[in-house]
Structure formats: structure tokens, C-alpha cells
Structure 1
Amino acid sequence: MSILVVSVSHKTAPMDLLARLTLPADVTSKVLSSLLSSEHVDEAVVLSTCNRTELYAAVTRFHGGLQALTETVEQIVGISVETLQDNCAVFYDEAAVSHCFSVTSGLDSMVRGEHQILGQVRQSLNHAQSEGAVGTTLNALFQQALRVAKRVQTETAAGTAGRSLVTASLAELADRGIDVGGLRALVVGAGSMAALAAHTLDDRGAAVTLVNRTLEKADRLADAVGGRARPLEELTDALDHADVVVTCTGARGLRLTADDLRHTPVRGVVDLALPADVADEVGELPGVELVNLDVLARIAHDESGGIADGLGAGAGEIAEAEAVVAEEVKDFLGLRRAAAVAPTVVALRSMAQDVMTAELARLNARLPYLGDKEREEIQTAVRRVVEKLLHQPTVRVKQLAAMPDTPDYAAALRELFALDSAAIEAVSQSR
């Protein structure tokens, strides 16, 4: 089973297209169900964040799997295959493993080295598991990706600095002359991004007020940061008592316009929602600075389209983290290649067992006068001979299979011993 990834991210597509591809849980479930109905897709996971939407699949064929993924997006999300192909990156097998590990470790994020993606990946995996869309292939991939990300966080400088979209946005505001320390900060929303914003603002000395559609959630978060909670119906009044606004709801029904902020004391607005919570025209108000995902994307990319050193971890820190990821990718692929040869080894041993059993039965028929002790000695000797003959080749083929860029020794075994392909497939399906 091969791994295929279709990725639409801040690196490949404009924010308006990413906004259209932001998939709530119910739509994600439909996408998973549709993918699993394809004859070429056995497993699937959908990762959708404010930076990216990615479809991971365990596929039997590359082209058939790619067609299933792109046509599913067209049918359910309404984005044509052509548009998707023009704005995506495709990763297959070994490249897909490397990409997954890098994404989960925050190395492919808009803010490199950020930690929030780890929780988002875990949540996406859990959702796919609850939908019955994850089997051994993607479970092994994502479980290892989560472990790799933890290692990057604990062992490298890129993972220990606590970077996030929130810290990057506040740094941009500071560069524009707005330091949040001592200011009144209004956080709209109470999800994971809002929680990160509230805690970050509190740590930097801002007085935090939270506004959310569900007041109970805002209350709990406000208690954690020593702030105040208000219902969404009081947003207009809350804006009249705020210097800085951070909004990250992604709710399609919320839209702050220039008119909403024109006569307020708000000086800085951070919009981390996708789709956006704040109209671009807000950035044109006199004395108001707007930092949104479009702004961060421009900062994150240099003129050549690559990731710049100015947002997130620096080149040295990233190189350190990438070395960890590369090591883990190599080890994972080695284990995967070794596991792939296991059905062939099992089939070879099974064939040898059948041959040995048949020959012992023939011997028993030809020498009926042998006593039980003699028969047991002969059977033991034959088994030892077969085991010794098979031991070195089967151990060696697993070792060689784990090495990159080696011939397909499993295929050689299948050809040399005329192994039954159906039997090998049956072993593969049972593992």
C-alpha cells in the first residue's frame, strides 16, 4: 500500500482559495466517506487548518488515487480539478512520509517551528479514526509523525521557542509601533487559537477580555488568564473598550468592517481566521494596523517564493530540526520496506513447510517399519535442515530491504521460488 498526499497550503495557493478549502467536521466526514468508496483508496485522513488543507490516502495505484482525491474535492467542496491541480503539491510514498513528518513538526508552517499544528494533526487523525477511515498504513505514518514532532519540540531550538501565528502577529504589531503590554486586548472566539492568543496576551501584560458565541467557554478561558468574558451580542460595546483585537473564529457569519471599528479606540487588529473575520478595508482606517493571514503569508515568503528567515525559526534552527526529521524518515522507511518483504518471507517459509510435510509423509509411506523414535529423529533432522537453509536468506532479505536504493530482493525470491502471488497477497491483507 502506497501513501499519497494532495496538499493545498500557504506555499501553493492564495488565501481566498484556502478559505474555500477550509473544511468543517461534517464536510470532512463526507470527504472521507467519498474517498473510501473509491476502489483505489483504502484509508484516508483530512488535515484542514488556517495554513493548509491536505488529503492523505493509502492507495493501491498512484493515478487512480490522485483522481479519486481531486474529484472528491471537486464534487464535495466545489473546487474544480483543474484549479486544484494548479494550486496544490502532490507527494507520493517516500516524499509523502517526509512531508507528513515536516508538517507535523511545524517545519512547513507559515511560522516555522510552531507547535499548534501538532494538536491539529492529532485531532485530524482522531476524526478519521472515528470515521473508520484509518488502517495500519496511515496509523503507523501519523503515530510516528506525532512522535517525531515531539522529538523536534524537545530536542531542537526550532521547537523550544514557543512560536505561533499569535506570536508572529504580535511581533508584526510591535514592529508597527503597537506593543500590547499594558493595553486592553479583546479576543474574539474561544477555540484553541483563541486560547493561545489569550494566554500570550496575558503573558505580555495585556488586560484580556473574551467574546464568544458560547459564554460558558469564554468564562472558562477568562478565568485561566484573569480576564473578563462577554457574550457575542456585546461585541460592539466590547470594541469600544479595546485597544487591540485578536479574532480567530473562522465563523462565516462574523465579519468586522471598517464601520464597526471606525469610531473605536482600537489601534491594532489581528485576524487569524480562515475564512477571515475582518474585512481588508479595516487596514485602511487611519491609525489602525491590520495583521491577517495574507500579511503573514507575505512576510513568510521571500521574493523567490521560498520560506524567508524572518518569520518563525531561523535557518540554523530549521536545519537542526530538519536533520532530526530526515533521520526519522530514513528509519521509518527502512522499517516500512522491511515490513513490505515480510509476506514474501512468510510465503517462502509456508511453501518450505508444505514441501517438508509432503516429503515426510512420502517417507512414512515407503518405510512403514520405522519406529516412532526413528521417525521423530528424521522429522527433527529435516526441519533443522530446512530452517538452516532458509534462515540466512530470510534474515538477509529483510536487512537488504530496509536499505534505500537496493534491488527488489523480495521480487527475486518470488521469482526464484515461484511463490504464489495470491498467497502473498493473503498474508499482506491479514497483517
Structure 2
Amino acid sequence: MNICMIGIDHSTAGVKIREQFSFTALQAERAMQIINRQPGVRGCVLLSTCNRMELYVSMDPCGISLPELLGKIRPFTGQEQEFKSYFKIRTSLEAVRHLFYLAAGQKSKIFGEDQILTQIKEAIRKARELNCTDTLLEVLFRQAITAGKEVKTKAPAAHGNVSAVHSALAAIEKKGFECKGKKCLVIGNGQMGKLAAETLRDAGALVTVTVRQYRSGIVEIPKGCDRIHYGERYEHVPFCDLILSATVSPNLTIRKEQLMQAREGHCRKQIFIDLAVPRDMEEEIAQLEGVTLYDIDAFQNEALREELCARKAAAEQILELKLAEFKDWYECRDFIPRIRQVGGQAAEEICWRMGRVTGGLQQSQQEQVTELLKESAQKVVDKMLFALRDELEPEELLRCLEILERIRY
């Protein structure tokens, strides 16, 4: 199976390391185009989220190595040994199984989280848009997404929405922070920022969201929240109890020096939550008096409850069945051209024999009837052979095809 992946995630590396291998949407596009031009590469998909970066590649067996490929888009010359332990390489069925379980939220830091499935959909959509996929990757990701959806429906990991935002707020509430009535600033109005604002609002907080002015018109924010321009954030920070940043920008949104100046004369205790990768907040702000800083790695997933363990087992059962379906497709995919060739030969034979019956027709009518006969015969034979493919073991199907191919029409 000529599918492999190289990746780094929360289980092997902290945010300091992961952020060095994160990609913005534009960077990911450029990276896939570079990878796809490399010798032996048939297709690629790059998945980059706050908790992981994974590069999936369909390639020839003797193609360029995965570390070399990664080096083409994120060079780490002289640091190979330092970073080697952080990366995981998976090949063949191991890579396939990993993606299926990932799509179902089984590999996430927050077990069963909902966002990863959307992120995988977006990754394959963008790769397809850039003509960076092949049939193997298309089928793999399509079936993995289907499996993930089925797990979400039949074996949901938990009640309600599960995300980094919900996990973060649940953690600080356990530490005694109550959202109700608190002034909160959310920096970032993207998918994660909107979710954070909505979650804080629903918890009774007074939420303000930063926005940037775009030429496309008015920027929408969650209902019930106030807005300020992104450039005014430091003026607003001193009056907030909680400041949460979740942007996709490679630039820092909160720096120590500017924060220190903004907070001068203010003694309010404040919580700063940074859910971005790369990080939005300079880690040195934690040195300031009254500031408590959390990054995304601070919110460890809680131990699985008994109910969650049962759901995990149900999810595994679904995923293993879906994996078997993909494996069957992969093992039989090379038979498809041969099945269609046999069907075509049978159709030609039928048309030749029916020629005796249609010989009295005008040439145009005869051609039309012949074409209809050929098309119908091809469909009938294909249907029978594909039914055999679905029922027989690959070895048995191969034997049937070999016998049919020896028939001289």
C-alpha cells in the first residue's frame, strides 16, 4: 500500500516544538504544491491544526524519504537529531488506520472532539483544489471522513459540544473561576474565536470580540457580544477578567512590554488563555504580577469515564469495519480495469452475433442499435463481475478473471 505519513502532535511534542512545524492556510497550499512536484510523489495532503501537523503522501516505493520531503517545506538543517524523536512515521495500513481513528476524534487531545473532522475535510478539499491528490488519497480521505461521521452519530464521545474552548473553560472553572458576570475579551473572530465568544456568552460572561476592518464589508460577530477594533485591544485589556486569544495569525497578539504598559496602575488579577498554534501570546507575560497564563497544552484531557470507555469500544468496532472496507477496495482496485475489459469483450461478442439480426436495417439505424447493445451488454457484465468482486476473496476473483480473459471471443 503506497500510502505513508509523517507527523508531529501533542502526544510527542509540546507547543514550543509544534509551533515550528505549523502552517497557515496559505503556507499549507504552497507546501502541498512543492511536495507534489517531488520525484515519485503521486499526491499529498497536509493537515495542520493547533495540536498536530501531518503530511500524507501517496508515492512510489522507491521515492524520496518522508523526512526529506518534510525538509522541502520546513527545513531543519543541523537539527535533524533534535527533532527526530518528535516525529512519527506511519506507512501502509498503519497510516490508514491512524487517519480513520483521527477523523473520529479518537486521537485528539480532547477525546472525541468535533473540530478535527472539519479540519480533515478542509485539508482534502484544499489538496483537491490544488490538484495535489490521486485516487488513493481521495478514496482514503473520503472513507475516513465517512467513518468519522458514523462514529459521531452512533458512538458520540460525550454529551454536548467538545472542543479546546470547552475544555479550557471547564478547567479554569474547576480552579474557582466563574464566568458569569465577568468581563472577557476574545482576540480573533475566526472559527475558534467565534466558538470561544459564544461559549463565554452562554456562560453569562460579558464578552467583547476584536475585529479587523476588511474591504468586504461588515464583519459579523456572535450575537450578544460587543466589538472593538483589533488595534484597541491593549486599551481594553486592563478592564477584563479573562483574555482569550485564538487566531491563525503567525504574529503575536499579546506582548509582554505592551501589556505591562497597558496594565500600569491596574491591580486586577487576570487569566490569559492562548489557544493558538503558533502561540498568540508571549510566554513572558506570565512573569507579570496578577497574570495567570495558560496555553493549549495546559488543558489535559481528563481520564475517560466508564461511559466514555464503552463509547470508545463502540467507536473502535465501527472503525475496524470501515477499515476492512477500505482494505477490500484497495486489494481489488487493480481488478477494475480488467473487469471492464472483460465486459467490453463480451459486449463486442454480443454485438457481432446480433449483427445477423440487425443486418437488414439502414446503416445509421444499425449503428445506433449496435451502440445501445454494446452499452447495455457492458453494464450487465460489469454488474455481474462487480458483484463477484464484492462477494469473493481477492484470490478467487483473480482466478475468475484469468479464466474469462482466456476466452477467445
User: Normalised by the size of structure 1, how large is the TM-score?
Assistant: 0.75
Conservation of the 8 A alpha-carbon contact between 1:31 and 1:72: no
Q: Percent identity?
A: 25
CA distance in structure 2 between the partners assigned to 1:84 and 1:124 by the alignment: 24
Output one character per residue of 1:151-197: Cα deviation in whole Å (capped at 9) or x when no partner: 22222231643110001111111122112122111000111110110
1:332 to 326, 329, 335: 326
Match of 1:342 in 2: 336
Describe the SS at the equivalent of 2:147.
helix
Match of 1:48 in 2: 48
2:391 to 393, 396, 399: 399
CA distance in structure 1 between the partners assigned to 2:341 and 2:91 by the alignment: 28
Match of 1:382 in 2: none
Output one character per residue of 1:287-346: Cα deviation in whole Å (capped at 9) or x when no partner: 4332212313xx24xxxxxxx6269x9433323323222222222322332333333444
CA gap of 1:116–1:175, structure 2 versus 1, over 3 A, is: same
Letter in 1 for 2:70: V
CA gap of 1:108–1:221, structure 2 versus 1, over 3 A, is: farther
CA distance in structure 2 between the partners assigned to 1:218 and 1:113 by the alignment: 36
Output one character per residue of 1:342-391: Cα deviation in whole Å (capped at 9) or x when no partner: 3344456678899x89xx99xxxxxxxxxx68xxxxxxxxxxxxxxxx99
Q: Does 1:282 align with 2:285?
A: yes
When structure 1 is superposed on structure 2, of 125-134 and 329-338 the one drifting more is: 329-338
Match of 1:197 in 2: 196
User: Normalised by the size of structure 2, how large is the TM-score?
Assistant: 0.79
Match of 1:305 in 2: none
Match of 1:27 in 2: 27
Describe the SS at the equivalent of 1:157.
coil
Gapped runs of 5+ residues in structure 1? Answer: 301-307, 362-371, 374-389, 403-407, 420-431
When structure 1 is superposed on structure 2, of 156-165 and 50-59 the one drifting more is: 156-165
Report the alpha carbon displacement of residue 218 of structure 1 after superposing the two structures with TM: 11
CA gap of 1:42–1:409, structure 2 versus 1, over 3 A, is: farther
CA distance in structure 2 between the partners assigned to 1:219 and 1:109 by the alignment: 35
Match of 1:230 in 2: 228
2:237 to 239, 242, 249: 239
When structure 1 is superposed on structure 2, of 252-261 and 49-58 the one drifting more is: 252-261
CA gap of 1:394–1:209, structure 2 versus 1, over 3 A, is: closer
Gapped runs of 5+ residues in structure 2? Answer: 358-381
Output one character per residue of 1:371-428: Cα deviation in whole Å (capped at 9) or x when no partner: x68xxxxxxxxxxxxxxxx9999865653446xxxxx556767888999xxxxxxxxx
Letter in 1 for 2:312: I
Report the alpha carbon displacement of residue 79 of structure 1 after superposing the two structures with TM: 2.5
CA distance in structure 2 between the partners assigned to 1:331 and 1:23 by the alignment: 32
Letter in 2 for 1:155: K
